[in-house]
Structure 1
Amino acid sequence: MKPKQRSAYLEALQYDNSFPIEKEAVELWLADLDNPFRWSVRPLLQLLFAALLHITWFLKRLPLPQFSAHKLLQALICWFCKYFVSYEANMLILRHYSTESNLLNFLALNSGKTPPALLRLYPKTIKDMREDSFVKHDQELFRVFKELGYWDNNLHTLEESQIDWSGWRTVDMDEFNVKKRWSQVMDFESAHALFMCLFCFLLTKEEYRDAINGFNLDQSIAIRLGKILNNPQYAEMAYNKYPLYLVGPWNLAQRFLMHGFFTEYLYAELESRRQDKNRIQG
């Protein structure tokens, strides 16, 4: 069957490597953009789910007993991923765990301090995500920042020989295992619109508020990595900024998506640097 002809803009994106991002991630994203569900059903779903999210956000802030159900949340998300979320979207989700875990582990090992326990969130299948949880993903980010303590703004740029790559794991697409099913029609953004409502309902108000504001630490990560590697331009890759300014669920879908692009960009940038070092040493 002849592949669908993409628009001129999407064809241009296929060859735009101005930003550091791996070809595999671009191909997955372009395939997700080709999903007809995204352009037909998604706008309606996003409207409905956005309204539901804001209603849930309001109800969770009433003076009522707080509750959470982490295990149920994990089970529901993984069930939807297994049967209804597209293959490309599932692969992008799995990649995101690995890209962010790599960045935080690299930061922990190269901050000039005794590193906290490294992240082990590297799921390879949908089933793994019930263990390497979406909730833990956020909490591990906060843990690393807390345990690293105050950042030393006088930290000198590291020489190549001083950089510790021991916590780095190359993202190998062949290691991911997602079974394709005929019912997997939901694109990445539609899936997130559904998941953000589940998160808001099945987490406490503080847990959910923290989760959606954790994106703003992207800028802090970029600033720190830029200092370690002498590249202040990393901070420009962060769409989510100014972590002291807490926000609600407004514009959450875009902020979440740009968080994913951010980790892909920085992962690709650092992976390229690591490979260059290995080639020189080899």
Structure 2
Amino acid sequence: MASKPSAYLQAIARDNSLPIEQTALDLWLKDLQNPLRWGIRPLLQFVFAILLHLIWFFKRLPLPQFSAHQSLQRLICWFCRHFVSKEANLLILRHYATESNVLNFLAANSPVEDYQPVQLYPKSIDDMRDASFVEHDQQLFRLFAELGAWHHPAKPLPVEQLSWQHWQPVQMADFEFAEKWTQWLDFESAHALFMCLFCLLLTREQYRDAINGFNLDQSIALRIGDLVGNPKLAEMAYNKHPHYLVGPWNLSQRFLMHGFFTEQLYAYLEGVRLSTTTDTA
């Protein structure tokens, strides 16, 4: 029989102060109760954080750079299919969709018309061999470059004028997932295992850009806050100050908080979209 969640977990299960879809919250709360998160994860993060910094130093040496992007992604997909828990895999798939929606909303409501929307909406783990984590980062950087400098609008757009043309609501039934009994690893433990491989199998510039891309969360929130008239959205961003480049220190927490940010901003915007649809029905 499963143990009853602690008093704190019961509290945050009912806390809706920050927007988040119930499905995502349920997945995360179940992942938090994975015994491996509290047993093996601290050891993995300690050991691999040391190894990560050694690899980081090695990659910064004036040596020829190498990248094995496709091999890295195939290995990740194989590992996710066999060893990462259902909850963690679904959270990963949701992250692609939530961030793609947030970026496409920003682009569709920006004054720039010459841009390409983000098309990364994988429905299965195998889809991530093409919709890779590196491609996920590169699409973010590409879109920001295409949108160019941000000109803060004098006033927000009226709700009825907001564009949702590229928006794809996240439907859990759309995800294809074959559960295996070997899938036992929680989200954070899985990330601890892979963060060193990312550093090793990407060029130093690719990896540096990837771990600093989280800091664009603040810029995204500020821009969307301007569009919808809610400056408090920037408070959702844990990762900030994109002009200050950082290394791999505290990477696990920054990675996780980036995931929370996209879930929360997606949930907020989805609420705006649904209220607009209801009002105009």
Q: Structure 1 length normalisation: TM-score?
A: 0.98
TM-score by length of 2: 0.98
Write out aligned runs for 1:99-138 (5 A).
Answer: 99-138=98-137
- Which letter maps to 2:186? D
Is the counterpart of residue 4 in structure 1 residue 29 in structure 2? Answer: no
1:100 deviates by: 0.3
Q: Specify the alignment match of 2:194 in structure 1.
A: 195
Kindly indicate whether residue 74 of structure 2 is the aligned counterpart of residue 75 of structure 1.
yes
What are the equivalent positions in structure 2 for 1:98-247 lying under 5 Å apart? Answer: 98-154=97-153, 156-247=155-246
What is the letter of the counterpart of residue 15 of structure 1?
A: R
2:65, 2:167 → 1: CA distance?
A: 38
Q: Distance in 1 between matches of 2:104 and 2:159?
A: 17
Contact kept, 8 Å, 2:68 with 2:202, in 1: the verdict is: yes
- The secondary structure found in structure 2 opposite 1:212 is helix
Residue in structure 2 matched with residue 250 of structure 1 by the alignment: 249
C-alpha distance in 2, partners of 1:118/1:156? 25
Q: Could you tell me which residue of structure 1 aligns to residue 51 of structure 2?
A: 52
- CA–CA separation in structure 2 for the residues paired with 1:144 and 1:206: 18
Post-superposition Cα deviations, 1:65-84, rounded to whole Å, max 9, x if no partner, equal 00001100100110110101
Instruction: Tell me if the contact between 2:160 and 2:276 (Cα under 8 Å) persists in the aligned partners.
Output: no
2: CA distance, partners of 1:204 / 1:242: 23
Matches of 1:272 and 1:115 in 2, distance apart? 28
Structure 1: where are the runs of 5+ without partners? none
CA distance in 1, matches of 2:103, 2:92: 17
Aligned AA (1:214): G
Contact 2:67–2:202 (Cα < 8 Å) also in 1: yes
**What RMSD over aligned residues (CA atoms) do the two structures have, in Å?**
0.9
User: Residues 108 and 115 of structure 1 are in contact (CA less than 8 Å); yes or no, is this contact kept in structure 2?
Assistant: no
CA deviation after TM superposition for structure 1 residue 48, in Å? 1.1
Structure 2: how far apart are the matches of 1:229 and 1:140? 23
Q: 1:20 to 1:112 in 2, by over 3 A?
A: same
Report the residue type matching 1:238 in the other structure.
A
State the distance in 2 between where 1:145 and 1:156 align.
22
> Structure 1: how far apart are the matches of 2:229 and 2:164?
17
**Whole-Å separation in 1 of the counterparts to 2:38 and 2:247:** 26
Moved more, 110-119 or 137-146: 110-119
Report runs of 4+ in structure 1 exceeding 3 Å deviation: none
1:156: Cα distance to partner? 3.4
8 A contact 1:112–1:155 mirrored in 2: no
Q: How far apart are residue 4 of structure 1 and its match?
A: 2.3
Deviations 1:14-61 (A, max 9, x none): 111111000000000000011011111111111111111111100001
Counterpart of 1:30 in structure 2 is 29
Q: CA deviation at 1:280?
A: 1.0
Q: Distance in 2 between matches of 1:113 and 1:155?
A: 16
Q: Please, which moves more after superposition, 27-36 or 157-166? A: 157-166
8 Å Cα contact 2:77-2:126 kept in structure 1 = yes
Letter in 2 for 1:235: A
1:172 aligned partner, one-letter code: Q
C-alpha displacement at 1:177, in angstroms?
A: 1.6
Distance in 1, Cα, partners of 2:215 & 2:48 = 23
Partners in 1 of 2:32 and 2:162 — Cα distance?
37
Q: Secondary structure at the match of 1:41?
A: helix
Contact map agreement 1:81 1:90 (CA 8 A) in 2: yes
Q: Counterpart of 1:140 in structure 2: which amino acid? A: Q
Matched with 2:271 is 272
- Contact between 1:96 and 1:264, CA under 8 Å: does it hold in 2? yes
Decide whether the 8 Å contact of 1:109 with 1:115 is kept in 2. Answer: no
Give the Å deviation of 1:195.
1.6
Are the counterparts in 2 of residues 126 and 178 from structure 1 also a CA contact under 8 Å? yes
The alignment-based identity, stated in percent, is 63
CA distance in 2, matches of 1:174, 1:116: 30
Preserved CA contact (<8 Å) 1:157 1:229: yes
